[in-house]
C-alpha cells in the first residue's frame, strides 16, 4: 500500500523551516485570503485544505516537532538522490540488472510455456534486488516491449524480448569475422581499381 506523498508545508506556505509561530500565522492569513474558495472563480479546495493543514501543524508545537522529523527524513532522502545522481552510481549496474531480469523471464518462459510469468516480488527476491529497483527496470523493459503483462497479472518475456536477449547474447569469435582487406576467392584476377 502506497503512503500519501509527503507535503512540504514550509514550501507550501513559502516559509523558512526556522519561521516562528507568529510568522506562520501572518503568512497563512495572507495565503488563506488569496486562495480561499469563496474568492476564486475556479476554487482549488485541495490547495486551501493543504494550507489549513500546514497552518494547523506548524502552529502546534507537538505536531510541528513530529512534522520536522519527517521533513528532515524527506530532505535526507532527496539529498541522497541528488548525491547518487551526481556521482554516477545511480547507473552502475542498471544494464546488467535489466539483462538479469530479461534472462530470468526468458528461462521461465522456455521451461514452462503453460505458466511463463513471474511476479515482481518473486523476481526481486530471486535477484536479491530491492523491489523498488526492480519496478524501475520492469517499467523500462515493458516500455521497450521486451516484456508483457499476462492475464494472470504476472510478467513474461515477449517475442521481441526473446529476440533482444538472443541478439545481445550472440557472441562471434574472432575466427568467424571477415577482415575487410582480404580478397574474396576468385577475385585474384579481377582488375585493380
Residue 64 three-state SS: helix
Give me the number of domains the chain comprises: 2
* In-domain check, residue 178: no
pLDDT in 10s for each residue of the chain, 193 residues: 456 788 899 999 999 999 999 999 999 999 998 888 887 777 778 889 999 999 999 999 999 999 999 999 888 877 776 565 555 555 557 888 888 889 889 988 988 888 899 888 888 888 887 888 888 899 999 999 999 999 888 999 999 999 988 887 754 445 544 454 555 555 555 555 4
Co-location of 162 and 122 in the same domain? yes
Q: Judge if 15 and 78 occupy the same domain.
A: yes
Q: Is 127 left (phi over 0), alpha (psi -120 to 50) or beta?
A: alpha
Q: Is residue 68 part of a domain?
A: yes
Residue range of the domain that includes 119: 94-170
Task: Please state, in angstroms and rounded to a whole number, the distance separating the CA atoms of residues 57 and 9.
Answer: 9
SS3 of residue 18 by DSSP: coil
Among candidate residues 83, 118, 137, the one where a domain is terminated: 83
Amino acid at each position: 500500500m502506497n503512503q500519501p506523498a509527503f507535503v512540504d508545508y514550509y514550501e507550501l506556505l513559502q516559509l523558512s523551516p526556522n519561521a516562528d509561530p507568529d510568522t506562520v500565522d501572518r503568512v497563512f492569513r495572507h495565503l488563506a485570503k488569496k486562495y480561499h474558495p469563496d474568492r476564486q472563480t475556479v476554487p482549488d479546495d485541495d490547495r486551501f485544505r493543504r494550507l489549513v493543514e500546514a497552518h494547523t501543524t506548524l502552529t502546534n508545537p507537538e505536531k510541528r516537532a513530529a512534522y520536522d522529523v519527517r521533513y528532515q527524513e524527506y530532505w535526507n532522502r532527496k539529498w541522497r538522490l541528488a548525491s547518487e545522481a551526481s556521482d554516477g552510481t545511480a547507473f552502475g549496474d542498471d544494464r546488467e540488472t535489466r539483462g538479469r531480469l530479461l534472462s530470468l523471464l526468458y528461462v521461465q518462459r522456455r521451461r514452462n510455456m503453460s505458466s511463463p510469468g513471474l511476479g515482481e516480488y518473486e523476481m526481486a527476491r530471486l535477484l536479491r534486488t530491492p523491489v523498488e529497483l526492480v519496478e524501475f527496470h520492469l517499467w523500462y523493459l515493458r516500455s521497450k516491449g521486451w516484456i508483457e503483462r499476462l492475464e494472470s497479472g504476472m510478467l513474461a518475456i515477449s517475442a521481441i524480448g526473446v529476440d533482444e536477449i538472443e541478439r545481445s547474447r550472440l557472441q562471434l569469435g574472432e575466427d568467424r569475422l571477415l577482415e575487410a582487406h582480404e580478397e574474396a576467392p576468385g577475385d585474384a584476377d579481377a582488375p585493380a581499381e
